[in-house]
Structure 1
Amino acid sequence: MSSAFQTGLFSGGPLGLFWGWNICSLFMLLISFSLAEICSAYPTMGGLYFWVCKMKPDTPVLGFCTGWIYSIAMVFTGTSGNLSVALYLASLAEVGRGRTLTRVEIAAIAWGVNIASGIINTVGTKAIGGMSSFNLWWTLGGTFVLVITLLVKAPVKNTANFVFTDYENFTGWGNRGFVVLLGFLQAVYTLEGCETAAQVAEEARRPEILAPLAVVGSIVGSWLIGLAYMLALLFSVQSIANVQATSYAIPIAQLYYDAVGKRLTLMCLTVVALAQFMAAVTAFTASSRLFYALSRDNAFPMKSWFMALNRFQAPYWGVWVSVLIGCIISCAYIGSAVAFNAILSSAAIAVMLSYLQPILIRVLWPSTLPEPGPFNLGRWSWPINLASALFTVFICVLFILPIAHPTNSLNMNYAVVAIGGVIAIVVGGCLSSQMFIMLTGPVLALFSIVVAANAIVVHDWEFNDCHLLLLRFYRL
């Protein structure tokens, strides 16, 4: 929530943040119900793509596409989380030492954080479960500390009228409703990831019960805890204009600095950064397990490599491929700070696209779950799945739209480039027998963001020139 907080603050302000959080939480809860019902019937490591294969065995291409898009989504999520950690570390240096870090330095920190995630996933397999449990209590306790610190130390407390009705717009768009919708990214990005319980289902006891409960419980818990944290931030923010004009690497650092001062800001950022890092590590845990499952089911090239386990029982090839792609994506931040929002958007869209396929199958073919598990929605299953599918499509379209007006090469939403490239490569791979394309394609598609961002900043190219560059790249 802290990483994407500025998105909602600048697109709708407190009004959009509060109502957007609750609206998105409600629909994400419906999505969790839909996924939990399927998870209860098929509690296995493959997760989303395995569910699609089981429900539509006559159309294996659907499972293939789901698996690849979801694996890329997990890498996107881990990368965005690790880049957020780098921004928190940079902000800690800026607040504590008064030195502004360059984008190259921040990208280098992101590389280090990605590599640290890889090392933990390689040698700390048994510790990851304990770390996740610790992160639960760290998040609960940390939220309590942050809320109390903000409400006690903020020199000026905002009124309820400000928190629930104040509208802010730093996007340039004139339509009030559209501006508020753009702020939904903050909520959706925060709430995604409930399905990752399925990635470790085979490592749990009674997964047909515990896994779906974890899927739904993560949304319920995040909704309530996130609401308390958000209200504390909104009651304590001293100046939204200051946050928007900040020189700190991540804008929420300015909010904390204005509200609680230098020393407590360092404490608050440390609490958030550590929670973010532990969460990002588990995203690479999920992606590596997914690569393993895809290889096990003959949907991945170099099968023996990605199924290889080290003495710590970690699928280390999947871990380090995730790290490599994460480091490449992080380089986009060197070209433009706008790339950070593009990475957030890309992560959110990729996850939602992965959700869409099993849910849409349940809408179009309700009989595809002949033997439901203990977690069963009964007669409410179809309407909940329909609402979930419609919201997912809406979000995927919304998050590729321009986030600023007038739109130019410097503020374009490059998420459309990343997601378009990923979809083109995955679909092309399904139609091609050359599986090597499937391995290199996602890396090349994501690398195109780096090429475009750097070319625009260095050469000050026009918007159309950027499109020509990308067109030539994809043709190649």
Structure 2
Amino acid sequence: MIVDSDKRLLDLGYKPEFRREMSLFGVLGISFCAIGILTGMSSAFQTGLFSGGPLGLFWGWNICSLFMLFIALSLAEICSAYPTMGGLYFWVCKMKPDMPVLGFCTGWIYSIAMVLTGTSGNLSVALYIASLAEVGQGRTLTRVEIAAIAWGVNIASGIINTVGTKAIGRMSSFNVWWTLGGTFVLVITLLVKAPQKNTGAFVFTDYENFTGWTSKAFVVLLGFLQAVYTLEGCETAAQVAEEAQRAEFLAPIAVVGSIVGSWFIGLAYMLALLFSVQSVSSVQATNYAIPIAQLYFDAVGQRLTLMCLTVIALAQFMAAVTAFTASSRLFYALARDNAFPAKGKFMSLNRFQAPYVGVWLSVLVGCIISCAYIGSVIAFNAILSSAAISVMLGYLQPIIIRVFWPTSLKERGPFHLGKWSWIINFASFAFTVFICVLFILPTAHPVTQLNMNYAIVSVGGIFILVASTWNFWGRFYFIGPVHTNTE
């Protein structure tokens, strides 16, 4: 018997290749895991703390969460109409079939973004492990040792993804409970053990500026990057749509639900951090690999800091694993449509139903990029910051089409926005453009060789790579989605 989701996939031209073994909780867990609210908030907290302080963190979080919800609604509406593994890439191809270059570039940029996101997450795990060594044993790890740990974490991510759909679904479901329980534990620990609690005036109105810029508004806006970086990843549910039950309904629900849940969980965690931070200048001057470790150490002491960092590190690892899940599925989808070379290799599934070649390509690239950390932290950070921009650029492509060609979505799924569709899409478009510009602006003044924001250089390199691939290969082989449903 053909289930409704498989019938819809057949209608879109694809023969079902994956077993539909993911429930709503598993699909929601994928997006929730990719967002990684505990990890994103912890890893990027200092960005907002030093750029605007509590004022920028609190208000920036709520403003950005609202607009990221608009983006999630925009993407969920398209996902409901086209519940396929290619996600953003397939949606662009389907809505603008007369411009295959748009779909090709979207797919490649977003695939690169997912690999870089996974690499960033795995290095963050290594940095948390380094911070555990610093707090627990007073030993500072070298950059070579941190890079070696990142290699091990990359390989572990590949092994888990090779096991396949069931393992990823179970891990994602577990991550939901781990995030909820972990947030509860961290919030209670901070509020109970912190020797001094900050006032409401500090939490909601205190302004901090360690950037060197004199414009208060601009400094607060720089702090918005922390919220956007944390909330990226809701669309990952679309990458497993062909492995989900009732995908045309569950996948868009997961896209939106992951943002709503992350908004409120992140707010609770942020408030606990702001009420408990003992000294902003102490966090700014820390020698720990992850600055949030200093905040915990000042607030709860050595032993509890070790526990809290372990909770965050495990959540970070699960988030990084799902980034490679998304990248491998994107490679599969692109290869299926002749948008990626070595089609047969990247469409091969092992006995666990995993596209293992795409998984291990992601691992290989992640290990190579991790080596850059040994030579230059600045270069490595530039590469990884380009991942956040690339994700937003991936969001931008289908949203642009919905704004300027509103009739391009010719079919509606069970999840749609009705008369509010264009307004929400326009708000999403404006915010995405604004954030992409903000991501490449210098974050410190005066600008020097050591503090310059090199993300524009890294993003430019990605553009050159994708444009070259299209010109020398893609335009000869890619004409749009290829139907595998020959019947």
TM-score by length of 1: 0.90
What CA deviation, in whole Å up to 9, does each residue of 1:137-163 have, x standing for no partner? 000000000000000000000000001
Q: Which residue of 2 aligns with 1:317?
A: 357
Residue 418 (structure 1) aligned with residue 458 (structure 2): yes
Find 2:447's aligned residue among 407, 410, 419: 407
Shift of 1:124: 4.6
- Residue 407 of structure 1 deviates from its aligned partner by 1.3
1:392 counterpart residue number = 432
Separation in 1, partners of 2:402, 2:165: 34
After TM superposition, give the deviation of residue 343 of structure 1 in Å.
Answer: 4.4
Q: Contact between 2:88 and 2:394, CA under 8 Å: does it hold in 1?
A: yes
Counterpart secondary structure, 1:205:
coil
**Count of aligned positions:** 437
Query: What CA distance in whole angstroms lies between the structure 2 residues aligned with 1:258 and 1:435?
Result: 57
> What is the Cα deviation at residue 106 of structure 1?
1.1
Superposed CA offset, 1:71-114 (max 9, x none): 01111111111111111010001101011112221111111111
Number of the residue aligned with 2:23: none
Contact kept, 8 Å, 1:74 with 1:283, in 2: the verdict is yes
% of aligned pairs identical?
A: 83
What's the offset of the Cα at 1:344? 4.5
Query: Structure 2 vs 1, CA of residues 384 and 140 (structure 1 numbering), >3 Å: closer, same or farther?
Result: same
Q: Are the equivalent residues in 1 in contact too, given 2:175–2:318 (CA < 8 A)?
A: yes
CA distance in 1, matches of 2:124, 2:380: 9
Name the counterpart of 1:182. Answer: 222
Specify the code of the residue in structure 2 equivalent to 1:217. G
TM-score (norm 2): 0.88
Q: CA 1:259/1:221 → structure 2, altered by over 3 Å: closer, same or farther?
A: same
2:314 is the counterpart of 1:286 = no
Counterparts of 1:7 and 1:30, CA distance in 2: 24
Distance 1:113 1:263 in 2: 24
The residue that corresponds to 1:110 in the other structure is 150
Secondary structure of residue in 2 paired with 1:368: coil
CA distance in 2, matches of 1:391, 1:252: 28
The residue number in structure 1 matching 2:313 is 273
CA deviation string 1:325-350 (max 9, x = no partner): 11222223223444564344212101
Q: Helix, strand or coil for the counterpart of 1:158?
A: coil
- SS of residue paired to 1:2: helix
Tell me which of 245, 256, 266 is aligned to 1:205: 245
CA deviations 1:234-267 (Å, max 9, x no partner) are 0000001111111110000000000000000000
Question: 1:50 aligns to what?
Answer: 90
Question: Are 1:194 and 2:241 an aligned pair?
Answer: no
Where structure 1 has 5 or more consecutive residues not aligned to the other structure, the ranges are 439-476
Return the offset for 1:434: 7.4
The answer to whether 1:252 aligns with 2:292 is yes
1:90 matched to 2:140? The reply is: no
Q: Quote the Cα distance in structure 1 between the aligned partners of 2:272 and 2:381.
A: 24
In 1: Cα distance, 2:120 partner to 2:255 partner: 21
Decide whether the 8 Å contact of 1:171 with 1:404 is kept in 2.
Answer: yes
Contact 2:369 2:380 in 1 (8 A): no
Structure 1 residues 451-462: aligned runs within 5 Å: none
Report whether the alignment pairs 1:156 with 2:182. Answer: no
Q: Is the 8 A contact 1:401 1:413 kept in 2?
A: yes
Structure 2 letter corresponding to 1:99: R
Separation in 1, partners of 2:99, 2:218: 37
The higher relative CO (CA closer than 8 Å, separation ≥ 6) is in 2
Quick one: which of 81, 95, 101 aligns to 1:61? Answer: 101
CA distance in 2 between partners of 1:29 and 1:166 (Å): 27
Q: Does 1:137 align with 2:187?
A: no
Measure, in 2, the Cα distance between the counterparts of 1:46 and 1:246: 42
What CA deviation, in whole Å up to 9, does each residue of 1:191-223 have, x standing for no partner? 011101000011111111111100000000000
Gaps of 5+ in 2: 1-40, 479-487
- Partner residue, 1:8: 48
Q: Distance in 2 between matches of 1:339 and 1:260?
A: 34
Q: Is it true that 1:335 corresponds to 2:395 in the alignment?
A: no
State how far apart, in whole Å, the 2-side matches of 1:24 and 1:433 are. Answer: 38
Task: String of CA shifts for 1:370-406, please: whole Å, max 9, x gaps.
Answer: 2211111111111111110111111111101111111
Distance 2:475 2:159 in 1: 28
The RMSD of aligned alpha carbons is: 1.5
Deviations 1:107-143 (A, max 9, x none): 1111111111111111354211000000000000000
1:448 aligned residue = none
2:281 aligned partner: 241
Partner Cα separation in structure 2 for residue 331 and residue 406 of structure 1: 29
Correspondence for 1:464: none
Deviation track 1:264-304 (CA, whole Å, cap 9, x = no partner) reads 00000000000110011011001001100100011001111
- C-alpha contact 2:339 2:474 (8 A) present in aligned 1: no
Question: Are the aligned partners of 1:15 and 1:166 in contact in 2 as well (CA < 8 Å)?
Answer: yes
**2:267 alignment partner in structure 1:** 227
